[in-house]
Structure 1
Amino acid sequence: MKVISVFNNKGGVGKTTLTYHLAHALAESGKKILMIDADPQCNLTIYSLDQDTVHDIWEAEDEFIDQGFESTKAKVGSIRFSVLNSRTRSLHYLLKPTEEGTGELEYLPPPRQITNNLDIIPGRLTLHLYEEKIASRWTDAYRGEPLAIRTITKIRSLAEQYSKEYNYDYVIVDTSPSLGSLNKVIISTVDGFFVPASPDLFSLYGIRNIGKALTSWKDEFEIIYKLISLEKRHNFPERFVTFLGYTIYNAKKYSGYNNKWDLAHAHLNYAHQIPATIRANIAPDLREHLSDELLSSPIGATLVMHSHNTFPSMAQHYHNPMWKVPGLPNIEPEHLNTLRGASQRYLETKDSYIAFGQDLLSRIDLLGK
């Protein structure tokens, strides 16, 4: 099992759209996938589940989040708690005992099945409260304080626990475009991440910011690891996160320009600067498994490079990947004409994302070598 993340310090690059469709493509390729929505904005949850389902999940656990986990557990009684815990719960609910410093859950609530081979642990808007605990307990981790170690490794631990119980091949953690405490512990403890980038100045600066943050985070984690006892080190992954590469995503296509990526000249110029920006800012030891050719080439080449226009919004509206939308039985009348003229292009996205996923997996396979 590998835990991966799609991460960029710059928002608006289609990160959640890519994460959602990548997960579906891998699932349709026969891999068993768990998505964890660790973005406090819950975009992956909104993409995956209808509003009524999200409301039901959140409402049932509101008191545990707002009034306190252990006190509410005692108040509702063991039977009601067992019923609640036998249904899908949000990531924040799973983290709440750690946030409060109480005992762990005796058994894990089931993830929500999206489709065959694909499940999700939904997000929750209150996840920022857990981030505050990460920040306040960070210095205690240097002293090996058990609750602090548990706090900074808990999301990784949950990924491993769920994988052991449900036999996932890959866990994909969705994150916010932030370099705060929550993403520090997520990105530092996943096995690998890649960057979706727009061909513009802002993505170049985003990569620079990520590189600086990774250097700082790695130093901090290495110090903690050296200071804590051997018995506590098992909470951490065997190595710090590895950079898997980048992909150019959601770029506007300009056919007629004489270049292999069909980008406008200004965009092509920025796209060509991405590998050099990576080399200059992401430490060599985090990308040592990537050859110069792999580092210079976007994951999937042009497979998912260009904008899908309104396709992603339709996918989100119907809570299905783009290639499944034309065949859905519940298409609303106002969307019929739009789909009728573009159904083939919707269907073609499937092969692109599956091939993209296979290219990504070939890079993940290098982590074990």
Structure 2
Amino acid sequence: MTKIISLFNNKGGVGKTTTIFNLSASLAAAGNKILLIDFDPQCNLSIATIGYDEFGDYLERTEEFPFGKTIRAFAQPSLQPTQNSETYVTQPKYQKDMLNDGIKTIHNQIIIDIVPGDFWLNSFADILTVGTDVVQGTGLYRFLVPFLLVEHLERKEKSYDYVLIDLPPSFNTLVRSALYCSDYFLVPCTPDSFSAYCVSLIGEVLPTFIDDWNQGKRRYESSNQYDKVIPRKGQPKFGGWIFNGFDTKKYTSTGERKEIGADKAHLDKIIEKIKNDLIPKLQGISSYDCLPNFINTEPVVKIEDLNVMASEIQKLNIPLQYLSSQRPTIFDGWSSYQKELMKRMNGQYDFLAQYIINNFGDENRS
């Protein structure tokens, strides 16, 4: 059973793209087939995973590929019934290199696929209309493009255990669309006041998203009572949150590593907002249980500030799991401290992957 997971926060710079890339590597290392969908018009996930120049080739429109070989090739024709949607996937550059080096994946298959993003998604966001498409129930399927894309790939005999969707830092229609398609959403946060504010804002906004969907669903079902898809959508569950980009200090007297004072204060503030604002608001959603029984107020994982390593992940197109084996672009080699930090943080991504494997199964909808 495929699980669709969105990484979502209204705030930019919280590490959504980096988290998805590193999480996909950990989930794949655990033997899962992964699909990444770049649903952000900034296309950072596409650039990070497949490379800047290579991504440009996928954007190119030709007579043979009139919409390029990106998500646009599926999404735009879906708005024009006379044209056929198509799906194109590629693989992370590092996995292609691993296969060339003779490193095998499970069942000798590449186990991470990517649907590249497209700057055209800005136009697609403008085309989607909440009032008509969702609330009036006349275009609910227009808001299910990520899910329909996954189904289209399944018909081409490409199935996945997990689909991870990267999203823009907003509450626009692309975010609505992904959440309506998702089984779960994860919320990355950074140590700043705006992250705490955004957590509260999610509690305000998500219930309205669900109310809008339910209004449209009731209208749609009145004349489409045998539809099997729409009743199961519009029910994203809160899968937990991730604390990203903080600094720590190791105390020599105890050997314990803790967040520095300012970052610890922000962590406590986010926990307070989740406890007092987000969770009560999500509990108020009556149409389904948005809060699984494994949820609490603490972050699922804590990812320290990777500093230069985060930029090297983007430049080298390789996740943290394999970064220490690569020569950096701006200096001769990694220090022992950097290698130790990579090891510890990769352990956090592995823990996040196992958390998803353990918890996002029985709770999932059929």
TM-score under structure 2 length normalisation: 0.82
What's 1:244 paired with?
239
Following TM superposition, by how much is the alpha carbon of 1:138 offset from its aligned partner in structure 2, in angstroms? 4.3
Question: C-alpha separation between the residues in 2 aligned to 1:271 and 1:138?
Answer: 33
Partners of 1:199 and 1:270 within 8 A in 2: no
What's 1:95 paired with?
75
Q: Which of the pair is proportionally richer in helix?
A: 1
Aligned mate of 1:119, from 88, 113, 136: 113
- Corresponding letter in the other structure for 1:281: K
Question: C-alpha separation between the residues in 2 aligned to 1:213 and 1:252?
Answer: 30
Question: C-alpha separation between the residues in 2 aligned to 1:319 and 1:214?
Answer: 33
What's 1:335 paired with?
331
Following TM superposition, by how much is the alpha carbon of 1:334 offset from its aligned partner in structure 2, in angstroms? 3.9
What's 2:203 paired with?
211
Partners of 1:244 and 1:287 within 8 A in 2: no
Partners of 2:8 and 2:167 within 8 A in 1: yes
Could you tell which deviates more after superposition, 233-242 or 2-11? 233-242
SS at match of 1:39: coil
- Corresponding letter in the other structure for 1:120: I
Following TM superposition, by how much is the alpha carbon of 1:342 offset from its aligned partner in structure 2, in angstroms? 3.0
What's 1:362 paired with?
358
Question: C-alpha separation between the residues in 2 aligned to 1:260 and 1:346?
Answer: 15
Following TM superposition, by how much is the alpha carbon of 1:189 offset from its aligned partner in structure 2, in angstroms? 2.1
What's 2:107 paired with?
none
Following TM superposition, by how much is the alpha carbon of 1:163 offset from its aligned partner in structure 2, in angstroms? 4.1
- Corresponding letter in the other structure for 1:99: L
Structure 2 residue 189 is matched with structure 1 residue 197: yes
Following TM superposition, by how much is the alpha carbon of 1:337 offset from its aligned partner in structure 2, in angstroms? 3.3
Following TM superposition, by how much is the alpha carbon of 1:284 offset from its aligned partner in structure 2, in angstroms? 4.6
What's 1:104 paired with?
84
Partners of 1:246 and 1:298 within 8 A in 2: yes
Matches within 5 A, 1:1-369: 1-59=2-60, 61=61, 76=63, 81=64, 84=65, 89-105=69-85, 108-114=86-92, 115=95, 116-135=110-129, 138-145=131-138, 148-164=139-155, 165-228=157-220, 229-230=223-224, 233-236=227-230, 238-239=232-233, 240-256=235-251, 261-264=258-261, 265-276=264-275, 277-285=277-285, 286-291=289-294, 294-300=295-301, 302=302, 304=303, 306-328=304-326, 331=327, 334-338=330-334, 342-368=338-364
Question: C-alpha separation between the residues in 2 aligned to 1:216 and 1:272?
Answer: 23
CA change 1:368–1:337 in 2 (3 A) is closer
Following TM superposition, by how much is the alpha carbon of 1:216 offset from its aligned partner in structure 2, in angstroms? 0.8
Question: C-alpha separation between the residues in 1 aligned to 2:346 and 2:136?
Answer: 49
Following TM superposition, by how much is the alpha carbon of 1:94 offset from its aligned partner in structure 2, in angstroms? 1.4
- Corresponding letter in the other structure for 1:197: C
Partners of 2:292 and 2:363 within 8 A in 1: yes
- Corresponding letter in the other structure for 1:155: P
Per-residue CA deviation, residues 276-297 of structure 1 (Å, 9 max, x unaligned), is 1322333354433234xx3222
Question: C-alpha separation between the residues in 1 aligned to 2:312 and 2:258?
Answer: 26
Question: C-alpha separation between the residues in 2 aligned to 1:336 and 1:209?
Answer: 44
CA change 1:117–1:252 in 2 (3 A) is same
Question: C-alpha separation between the residues in 2 aligned to 1:194 and 1:142?
Answer: 25
SS at match of 2:348: helix
Unaligned runs of 5+ residues in structure 1 are: 64-75
Following TM superposition, by how much is the alpha carbon of 1:154 offset from its aligned partner in structure 2, in angstroms? 2.2
Could you tell which deviates more after superposition, 157-166 or 27-36? 157-166
Could you tell which deviates more after superposition, 20-29 or 338-347? 338-347
SS at match of 2:363: helix
CA change 1:237–1:44 in 2 (3 A) is farther
SS at match of 2:91: strand
CA change 1:238–1:355 in 2 (3 A) is same
Partners of 1:188 and 1:241 within 8 A in 2: yes
Following TM superposition, by how much is the alpha carbon of 1:129 offset from its aligned partner in structure 2, in angstroms? 1.0
Partners of 1:2 and 1:191 within 8 A in 2: yes
CA change 1:188–1:333 in 2 (3 A) is closer
Per-residue CA deviation, residues 117-148 of structure 1 (Å, 9 max, x unaligned), is 1110011111111111102x741555554xx2
TM-score under structure 1 length normalisation: 0.82
SS at match of 1:166: coil
- Corresponding letter in the other structure for 1:359: Y
Question: C-alpha separation between the residues in 2 aligned to 1:273 and 1:152?
Answer: 33
What's 1:73 paired with?
none
SS at match of 1:48: helix
SS at match of 2:241: strand
CA change 1:47–1:95 in 2 (3 A) is same
- Corresponding letter in the other structure for 2:349: Y
Following TM superposition, by how much is the alpha carbon of 1:153 offset from its aligned partner in structure 2, in angstroms? 1.8
CA change 1:57–1:296 in 2 (3 A) is same
Following TM superposition, by how much is the alpha carbon of 1:32 offset from its aligned partner in structure 2, in angstroms? 0.3
- Corresponding letter in the other structure for 1:154: V
Following TM superposition, by how much is the alpha carbon of 1:212 offset from its aligned partner in structure 2, in angstroms? 1.6
- Corresponding letter in the other structure for 1:169: D
CA change 1:142–1:31 in 2 (3 A) is same
